[in-house]
Structure 1
């Protein structure tokens, strides 16, 4: 499907300052897929993700990617990928989780804001903590 990202940004209320919440993205993803329940929002409201939240994220990534979709994650702060490279978005940013390996313990990130490293691998534990205080959209 050909998706007009400018139209999507308008629907999500995106400005130069960004998009406020994962809850602004999920309904637009559902509209674009043509299904009201293709995506749902999950919040990790604590400062650090606990084991249960990390396990839920892992399962959600595996199920969503296996369904042919990406998980959209709202992240903030700095995290380190499996190669030891830091990725920092102190004001917040959205990334897509597009793959996994090792049963979902390591996940592939697609990041349009990083021209030098458009994709990279990160542990699901690091991703969960990166999402903490925010949320993600998943199948």
Structure 2
């Protein structure tokens, strides 16, 4: 699977500067020289080249539902890891997360395991400490999702309470829950969720980023 960054680097290396912008445009990539309104990817070694994340993207992952009530953390983390290729079992990931019958402690654990198992330093833990996400926190989540998904890194989110998807269906986890963002559209204003709980067959659904940010309030995410 060729990633967005790999395509850009290949075009940058093989295309003369005079035609580089046109070649990138044909490939569906927008090059920006100054400030941009939306999220952008900055490529190392290409100080003058920033590429806007596409307006919509979905990743191919291997979905597995959680086998019990407390394995949402391992299941969501495993789903995220499969975007890069084969992943360990949920049991193996649970051992590394420190998951018990009381669940997985926090997004700090999912961040640590995503980085260690994925052999990367990409993931950071973001917290939303209050009861409701601020506009700045919602914008940061949108930026983090588009940046992550555009580079083949699903986002693992720790939520609690109830949130409504784009069809109006509620999803409730009063004791807390982990799920995985595997896509976005509308420049990141709407996200696609892979939900390891698979309640009533709802293993995936779309939700506004605002609703997801408020769902993660008092907790956080790895992105």
Q: Structure 1-normalised TM-score?
A: 0.95
Residues in 1 aligned to 2:165 and 2:222: alpha-carbon distance in whole angstroms:
21
Q: Which residue of 1 aligns with 2:209?
A: 124
Equivalent residue in structure 2 for 1:12, among 91, 94, 97: 97
Task: Kindly indicate whether residue 173 of structure 2 is the aligned counterpart of residue 89 of structure 1.
Answer: yes
Task: Kindly indicate whether residue 154 of structure 2 is the aligned counterpart of residue 70 of structure 1.
Answer: yes
Task: Kindly indicate whether residue 140 of structure 2 is the aligned counterpart of residue 53 of structure 1.
Answer: no
Aligned residue-pair number: 137
Name the SS of the counterpart of 2:88 in structure 1: coil
Q: Which residue of 2 aligns with 1:108?
A: 192
Residues in 2 aligned to 1:61 and 1:82: alpha-carbon distance in whole angstroms:
18
Name the SS of the counterpart of 1:8 in structure 2: helix
Give the structure, 1 or 2, with the largest relative contact order (CA under 8 Å, sep 6 or more). Answer: 1
Per residue, is there more strand in 1 or in 2? 1
- Describe the superposition over 1:11-33 as per-residue Cα deviations: whole angstroms up to 9, x where unpaired: 11111221011111111110111
Q: Structure 2-normalised TM-score?
A: 0.60
In structure 2, list runs of 5 or more residues that go unmatched: 1-85
Q: Which residue of 2 aligns with 1:22?
A: 107
- Describe the superposition over 1:8-67 as per-residue Cα deviations: whole angstroms up to 9, x where unpaired: 1111111122101111111111011112x1211000001100100000000000000001
Residues in 2 aligned to 1:38 and 1:104: alpha-carbon distance in whole angstroms:
19
Structure number with larger C-alpha Rg: 2
| C-alpha deviation, 1:71, in angstroms | 0.2
- Describe the superposition over 1:51-96 as per-residue Cα deviations: whole angstroms up to 9, x where unpaired: 0000000000000000111100000000000000000000000000
